[in-house]
Structure 1
Amino acid sequence: MLDLENLAAGTLSKGYLSPKLGYPVKIPYFILKGAKPGPTVLVTAGVHGAEYASIDAAYRVTKLDPKTLSGTVVILPIISTPAFTSRSIYINPIDYKNLNRLFPGMAEGTFGEKLVYWLTEEFICKADAYIDLHGGDMIEALTPFTIYQAGHTSSHELAKAFGIELLVASDSEIMSFTAGARQDIPSILAEASGQGLWLEAEVERLRLGVERCLIHLGLLEGELEPKPHKDLSEFAWLRSEHEGLWYPYAVAGDRVKKNQVVGEVKSLLGEPLQQAISSIDGIVLFSVSSLAINADDPLLGIGA
């Protein structure tokens, strides 16, 4: 773990971390040590290496003036550097596992399991709050939303403070925010942008969300402008049963009805294989935007 106690107040420190994972990695870090004491907040991005708006937003957070902070902000802008450099979607290219389905990780596991264990033990469990920035992957269109652990009140409050309207309560046991909530640490996962883009408005949406959370947590001075929010308790994913061609009939942001056909998978000969049918009334939170689809790939996710 980084030695936060002995850093000079009001300063920025940065460098690389090389945890022993059985594969050489260099993970960039930034520490904003506030001029005054206060909570320690962990901000991560790049758990998925091609979610670029979230990564750029994390880098922008490093530009905060530490002299304005009461507390410490630790920023790890690219957790999965192998996935980032290889432009890998969903998975890391070392053990081909999705890091955000491995929490809290394993000390004696595969590369991804050990990376997640290191992140959990050395950073998440030692923070007072945790913000994990994400977005749609290279082949996903997405409408912004924030996820938190269902029933964890302080995480719900942090999600509201972030300022994105749609808030999804999740019962996941294997995602980043779960690892924090298990330690009673307010923890959220905020999503914006996708499709390999890092457009200014979406990068700023995420950066400003982090700043709003820092105000909420008392690290920054200021008043939070109230933002409307809508609580969602369901997140239904539709997956492909086949390899083939994907034709979506609904896209991110669309409202759909239960039993509505929201897309179709066809064979490489153009023959119908599967209708994707919504199981709930709700809003499409993400939709796969590539024509190519593989068996068990997500097609879209619907929140309600």
Structure 2
Amino acid sequence: MSSRGAATGSTPKGPGNSSRSYDSSWDALKFRRTARPLRINKKEGRGARVSRTVKIQDLEVKGGQKKRGNLSISEKPAGPHQIPFTVVNGAGDGPTLLVNGGIDGSEYNGPAGTLRLQTELNPTEVNGTVIIVPVVNTPAFEARWVYTNPVDYRGLSGAFVREIPRGGSGHPLISYQVAKSFYDNILSKAEYRLDLHGGDIIEDLLISTMYTRFGEDPKRDDAAFALARNFGWVWIREGRPRPGAKPPYEGQPVPITMGTEAGGSGRCQSDIVDMVFKGITNVMKHLRMLRGEPDIPKKAKVYRPYHIYSERGGFFISDVRAGDMVRKGQEIGVIKNLYGDVLERITVPQPGVIHMVTSPAVYQGDALFEIGTDISEVE
């Protein structure tokens, strides 16, 4: 995924941003982080619920059952627009966990992990409820569309509104309709959420988890970090809300959320898919939804996002790959015109790990790299 989802709290790309742009909210906001994963305290009743029937639109799933459904969105010219999902309603008590992929339609490793989850989860072994939506943004998925979709050209992450706009003709409202139905019928029912991304077609990404430290409720922030830590990957991207940014989902209640980044460039790789599946089950063990303990590394590395934007448009050639460590002042790429002349040399303003590298065709103001800076190690 690009760093655009609600789980990231990242800086958008575009010509309005400076060439070397630091997320200044890091300086304004001091943050705290729990080094060790949080554990669910059953005595507190967090997430506890009596096994009951789960109802999503016309689908009803009793405790101990697993059923498939189709979320109704709207009517298209050729027929209904629906999104496939699965509910695993466990035999035991526990929280409700939403596992979704495909907020961005051309990111694949995360959604592929949910396909395996749907077939392998046994409701008799689950405490609580798991709602699985492999691909939310189906119009973008079907068209292999980057960032938005080919119908209304909106990004789904920014389409979560309380009321769908009405009146006029113009562009269809498909993104608003998807977001509204997904929120009202599924997202609002969950206490925890795994928002699985995978690097868009034009991106190469470091395999990492991510969460946002909003700063308003330290316990919620710590719980989100605990999800990311217990997913079991070494790198954790810690985002912050941009100063002055509107609250996500227009301030509507949302689950405690973490996300993933895994792979990119339009590929789906079985080894990464296996890592995603293991990460999901790790989190379920952390939440006491499955038996056992999470299998995670003893230490993880947490970093802050820093974006480098282009000053010129042209043909971008990178000297580094996602996951490479870079030092301050190091040249890591160039932009050339189609005559081969060098227009811009890209250097590193501060040391870190390469989180994201974009593809060669760049416009002036595009994000070229995201670098993970201020790296800290946690247990």
- Would you say same fold, with TM above 0.5? yes
Residues 42-61 of structure 1, C-alpha deviations (whole Å, 9 max, x = no match): 01101111111111111111
1:119 to 2:182 alignment: yes
> Alpha-carbon deviation of 1:129?
0.3
Letter in 2 for 1:16: N
**CA distance in 2: counterparts of 1:212 and 1:22, whole angstroms:** 39
Partner-residue secondary structure (3-state), 1:214: helix
Letter in 2 for 1:14: R
* 1:67 corresponding residue in structure 2: 124
8 Å CA contact retained: 1:83, 1:89: yes
* 2:339 corresponding residue in structure 1: 269
Match of 1:19 among 64, 73, 81: 73
Residues 95-148 of structure 1, C-alpha deviations (whole Å, 9 max, x = no match): 222223x16435224432443343334322321100000111112222211111
Gaps of 5+ in 2: 1-54, 166-172, 216-220, 374-379
**CA distance in 2: counterparts of 1:281 and 1:252, whole angstroms:** 14
8 Å CA contact retained: 2:86, 2:131: yes
* 1:130 corresponding residue in structure 2: 193
Structure 1 residues 241 and 209, CA gap change in structure 2 (3 angstroms): same
1:194 to 2:264 alignment: yes
Tell which deviates more after alignment, 19-28 or 136-145: 19-28
Letter in 2 for 1:249: D
Letter in 2 for 1:96: Y
**CA distance in 1: counterparts of 2:192 and 2:253, whole angstroms:** 10
Root mean square deviation of aligned Cα: 2.7
8 Å CA contact retained: 2:101, 2:110: yes
Indicate the structure whose relative CO is greater, using CA pairs within 8 Å and at least 6 residues apart: 2
Residues 29-73 of structure 1, C-alpha deviations (whole Å, 9 max, x = no match): 111111122211001101111111111111111121111101110
Match of 2:233 among 160, 164, 188: 164
Identity across the alignment (%):
29
Letter in 2 for 1:208: K
Structure 1 residues 301 and 256, CA gap change in structure 2 (3 angstroms): same
Partner-residue secondary structure (3-state), 1:169: strand
Gaps of 5+ in 1: none
Structure 1 residues 94 and 125, CA gap change in structure 2 (3 angstroms): same
Letter in 1 for 2:155: N
* 2:85 corresponding residue in structure 1: 29
Structure 1 residues 167 and 6, CA gap change in structure 2 (3 angstroms): same
8 Å CA contact retained: 2:73, 2:177: no
State the number of aligned residues: 300
8 Å CA contact retained: 1:21, 1:115: no
Residues 7-49 of structure 1, C-alpha deviations (whole Å, 9 max, x = no match): 2222211121122387853211111111122211001101111
TM-score (norm 1): 0.89
Alignment of 1:1-304 (within 5 A): 2=56, 6-20=60-74, 25-63=81-119, 64-100=121-157, 102=158, 104-109=160-165, 110-150=173-213, 151=215, 152-172=221-241, 183=253, 185-227=255-297, 228-232=299-303, 234-288=304-358, 290-304=359-373
8 Å CA contact retained: 1:91, 1:97: yes
8 Å CA contact retained: 1:130, 1:180: no
Partner-residue secondary structure (3-state), 1:202: helix
Structure 1 residue runs of 4 or more that deviate by more than 6 Å after TM superposition: none
Letter in 1 for 2:258: I
> Alpha-carbon deviation of 1:153?
0.8
